[in-house]
Chains A and B, each alone.
Chain A
Amino acid sequence: MLHEEPHKYTDNNPIVRFVDVTSTISGKIVLEKIDLSITRGDFVGLLGPSGSGKTTLLRTIMGLTNVPSGKIFMSGEAIDAARPTIGYMPQMSSINWNFPITVEQTVLMGTISKNKLYPWFSKNAKKAAFEIMERMGIIDVRSNHVSELSGGQKQRVLLSRSLINKPHLLLLDEPTTGIDIKTRDEVMHLLHEVNHQDVTIIMATHEINAVAAHLPRVICLNKNIIADGAPKDVFTVDILTETYGAPIHVTRYKGLPIVAESPHGFNGMKR
């Protein structure tokens, strides 16, 4: 199990603050009137059904959506004035793992915004890639083709790419979807370590019991924020049923909330 408490830092300005933010994609409102404050050192899970706005929230933090109303502040400054280095890790399934590319080349892509006019990856970028691959334990496979890697190694590659610029904020889009239990455990412990190295993490996830329940803070989202707090306070029948729009049962085991996602089984699927 992960630590319940994230590291605390004495920075008064939240690393991310949304004030009454509405966010749209192709003219359609995806997030509405969001008030949110992420403190430095937080490890936050975003929960909600598909289409609830989890990825849009991450995209809004990155400044990639339209924000017709509201204000976003990053480390106390308006987002337009200063955009800090943010690490981003996409869903595993969005990557073509059969692409002819090595681990090192993939990690180097994280440095693309540096030396914009230089067509190739610089020596400094290669040094940074070496360091992060060493830290993430993938240095021995740096020349391997990405398709030769295990699920855990693939996640480490994407994580290395998102951390190569030493960001203070890391955004993860369903990092544990589609991987086995052992790899998921490995990834969560790795993220926990990263969080304890002064990296604030916001992670969209679908896994309530295996992932979100172990985080210090979760936010239930469905167009707007339904609940925000520790899993023991947020994982209630009322909140989860409102978030997912489906009946959800919650029980407790050794103090941890356990969520039964389909307590009555599917209609018509009886033995």
Chain B
Amino acid sequence: MFLPFEYDFFVRAIIAGTLVGALCGLIGVYVVLRRMAYIGHGLAHSIFGGAVVSYIISINFFIGASLWGFLSAMLITFTSRKKNISTDSSIGIITTASFALGVALISRYSGFTRSFDAALFGNILGISALELYSVIFVVISVSIVVTLCYKYLLFTTFDPESSEYYGVHTGLLDGIFSLILAATVVVSLQILGVTMIAATIVIPPVIARMLTNDFNKMMIISVLTGAFCGLVGLYISFYLDVSSGPAVVLFSSFLFILSLIYSAIKERLLFKSDPHL
């Protein structure tokens, strides 16, 4: 069980994976409750384009990709406020266009050497010390932002229309949320891969929502579930020699099925004890 800890790369990967899982679980609560589950998927694709551009024009990946992701998220928010463009349509257009730009640039510049598979599906071998520090930095930053904006994020998520009436600066909150979501996706890319991030953001809060009706408890359960999925997923990735992204997502999906069965049994028992429910 402790064998993989003899490898430095695995220690870095397991710490990063657990933290990324917890981070996705935290931010995922707001993503799911804001009914924008598709945005994680879209942003990851969009950031892929930003990452390629950053690589080609030789600027720092984290800065370039985060900025790209933030601008994409803001653009999505802006276009989806137009009455005749729905949120899922604007996500579909903006993020796919950005992804297409990344793919086009890769095929145009033959000097591009980074692993395409790793970007799409995640790779535990690719976690450098710098990437681990970036994950730690983002986890701390996002936790501080979520704590400081607790009541504002709660209000704008629950009742966005009224929160504006009550003096909450919804535009600023949307901007802050887009920024922390983009930062989360950027640091998760290396471990989870472009195609797997969405499920990691969505599954833990969905499991948590099935288990509780309390917002604070939902956040705690979601963070713990995300961290657990990250930890176990990376173990599976190491032992079965599969990409880390699919390993984390498959384990999360397994827990989702278990919690689905649990809540179905619970509902049945409740119904038996009180058929009027």
Contact = CB atoms under 8 A, between A and B. Distances in A.
B166 A100 contact: no
B133 interface: no
Interface residues of B, number: 26
Interface string B130-159: 000000000000000001111110110111
Taking residues whose C-beta sits less than 8 angstroms from the other chain, chain A's interface range is 20 to 34
B214 A100 contact: yes
Tell me the interface secondary structure of chain B in the complex: helix
B151 A100 contact: no
Interface of B: 33, 147-152, 154-155, 157-159, 161-168, 209, 212-215, 218
Tell me the interface secondary structure of chain A in the complex: loop
Contact of A62 (B148, B165, B209): B165
Contact of B151 (A88, A112, A147): A112
Contacts of A109: 151, 154-155, 158-159, 162-163, 166
Interface stretch (A40-48, A90-98, A187-195, A218-226): A90-98
B166 A99 contact: no
Contact of A100 (B152, B164, B165, B218): B218
Interface of A: 62, 64, 88, 90, 94-96, 99-102, 105-106, 108-110, 112-113, 119-121, 145, 147
B60 to A, nearest CB: 31
A88 B167 CA distance: 11
B154 to A, nearest CB: 7
A112 B167 contact: yes
Given A109-B154, A112-B166, A112-B168, A100 B161 contact: no
Nearest to B35: A96
Q: Which of A96, A105, A109 has the most CB of B within 10 A?
A: A109
Contacts of A119: 147-151
A113 B151 contact: no
Given A100-B215, A119-B148, A120-B150, A112 B163 contact: yes
A99 B164 contact: no
Contacts of A90: 159, 161-162, 165
Nearest to A113: B167
Given A64-B164, A90-B165, A102-B214, 18 more contacts: A88-B166, A90-B161, A90-B162, A94-B161, A95-B158, A96-B158, A99-B215, A101-B154, A105-B215, A109-B151, A109-B158, A112-B152, A112-B155, A112-B163, A112-B166, A119-B151, A120-B150, A145-B213
A147 B158 CA distance: 13
A147 B214 CA distance: 12
Contacts of A108: 151
Q: Which 8 A-B pairs have the closest CB atoms?
A: A145-B213, A113-B167, A88-B165, A119-B150, A100-B215, A109-B155, A90-B162, A119-B148
Nearest to B218: A100
A113 B164 CA distance: 11
Nearest to B160: A94
A119 B148 CA distance: 5
B202 to A, nearest CB: 16
B1 to A, nearest CB: 36
Contacts of B152: 112
Nearest to B149: A119
Given A100-B212, A109-B154, A94 B159 contact: yes
Given A64-B164, A88-B162, A90-B161, A105 B212 contact: no
Q: Which of A99, A101, A105, A121 has the most CB of B within 10 A?
A: A101
